């Protein structure tokens, strides 16, 4: 069935315009992002197949470009979809750049959505001003250990660029507890040392786990 054969009131774009996007199903929202189907299959059918293959909306957000391999979904559409998912993650991350970081719990609540449904280990450094307000968030590691000097060098470079007074390191343990490894301890010590050299203090290192977080400051493994 072609999309033209569907009632105008049931087509995703028209339905969104008349009733609002909140009334749309997951399939209809996906269809708007994908925009078109292909010969023999309309966009709603393609969106339904994509959801079925991925195992639902939450699992769809875990896929990368190479994993979005489905007939009718070309690279441009896949990139558009991944961009929309990333925007959603950022919008829901509750990041307030004008409000100072209070403590580890405040940090956890603000940034936990960056790691929700994230299947790989990721690391970020937050650069802060002298009032502990976030200036910039930079991803410094993706998909594995981030203890290599090049990743730490990037963290330092970003802090220097924005003239940060403080920095916070955070990363996730996707399939485990929020408990630091020996490598995490080494990384923390190195970044703390490098920070002292440039006058940017490491404020904390937060590890996000499946059921909570670990703070180096709260556990007295960083001197504040």
The confidence band for 79, taking pLDDT boundaries of 50, 70 and 90, is very high
Domain residues for 10? Answer: 3-91
My answer on whether 144 and 108 are in the same domain is yes
In a domain, 110, yes or no: yes
My answer on whether 76 and 140 are in the same domain is no
pLDDT exceeds 50 at position 148 = no
In a domain, 14, yes or no: yes
Tell me what the mean pLDDT of segment 200-216 comes to.
94
> CATH number, domain at 152?
3.40.140.10
My answer on whether 46 and 145 are in the same domain is no
The lowest-confidence range among 4-13, 41-50, 61-70 is 4-13
In a domain, 173, yes or no: yes
Looking at the 3D structure of the chain, how many domains does it have?
2
- The whole-model pTM stands at 0.62
Output DSSP code: residue 75. H
Instruction: Please give the distance of CA 7 from its chain centroid, rounded to a whole number.
Output: 37
Domain boundary among 91, 121, 155: 91
My answer on whether 129 and 165 are in the same domain is yes
Do 155 and 169 meet the contact criterion of CB atoms below 8 Å apart? yes
My answer on whether 27 and 81 are in the same domain is yes
My answer on whether 117 and 208 are in the same domain is yes
- What does the pLDDT read at residue 38? 84
In a domain, 52, yes or no: yes
My answer on whether 194 and 143 are in the same domain is yes
- What does the pLDDT read at residue 203? 96
The CA-based angle 134-180-97, given to 5 degrees, is 10
182 versus 61: the higher-pLDDT residue is 182
My answer on whether 11 and 45 are in the same domain is yes
My answer on whether 127 and 25 are in the same domain is no
- The DSSP result for 9-60, as a single string, is GGSHHHHHHHH-GGGS-HHHHHHHHH---BTTB-HHHHHHHHHHHHTSHHHH
My answer on whether 87 and 122 are in the same domain is no
My answer on whether 158 and 182 are in the same domain is yes
Work out the angle between the directed axes of helices 26-34 and 43-54 (0-180°, nearest 10): 120
Largest separation between any pair of C-alpha atoms in the chain: 67
The confidence band for 147, taking pLDDT boundaries of 50, 70 and 90, is very low
The lowest-confidence range among 44-58, 64-78, 82-96, 113-127 is 82-96
Do 121 and 174 meet the contact criterion of CB atoms below 8 Å apart? yes
The confidence band for 8, taking pLDDT boundaries of 50, 70 and 90, is confident
Cα dist. 162→40, 124, 126, 155, 194 in Å?
52, 15, 11, 11, 16
My answer on whether 80 and 182 are in the same domain is no
- What does the pLDDT read at residue 153? 85
In a domain, 220, yes or no: no
The mean predicted confidence, pLDDT, of the chain is 86
CA distance 31 to 15: 12
In a domain, 223, yes or no: no
- What does the pLDDT read at residue 121? 86
């Amino acid at each position: 069935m072609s999309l033209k054969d569907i009632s105008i009131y049931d087509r995703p774009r028209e339905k969104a315009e008349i009733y609002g996007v909140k009334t749309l199903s997951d399939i209809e929202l996906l269809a708007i992002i994908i925009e078109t189907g292909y010969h023999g299959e309309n966009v709603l059918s393609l969106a339904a197949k994509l959801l079925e293959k991925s195992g639902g909306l939450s699992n769809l957000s875990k896929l990368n470009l190479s994993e979005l391999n489905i007939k009718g979904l070309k690279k441009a559409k896949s990139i558009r979809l991944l961009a929309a998912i990333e925007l959603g993650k950022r919008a829901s991350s509750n990041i307030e750049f004008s409000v100072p970081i209070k403590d580890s719990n405040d940090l956890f609540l603000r940034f936990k959505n960056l790691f929700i449904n994230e299947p790989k280990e990721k690391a970020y450094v937050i650069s802060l001003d002298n009032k502990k307000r976030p200036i910039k968030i930079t991803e410094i590691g993706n998909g594995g250990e981030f203890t290599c000097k090049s990743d730490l060098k990037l963290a330092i470079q970003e802090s220097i660029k924005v003239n940060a007074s403080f920095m916070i390191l955070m990363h996730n343990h996707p399939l485990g507890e929020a408990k630091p490894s020996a490598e995490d301890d080494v990384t923390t010590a190195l970044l703390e040392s490098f920070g002292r050299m440039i006058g940017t203090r490491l404020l904390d290192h937060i590890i996000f786990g499946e059921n909570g977080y670990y703070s180096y400051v709260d556990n007295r493994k960083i001197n504040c």
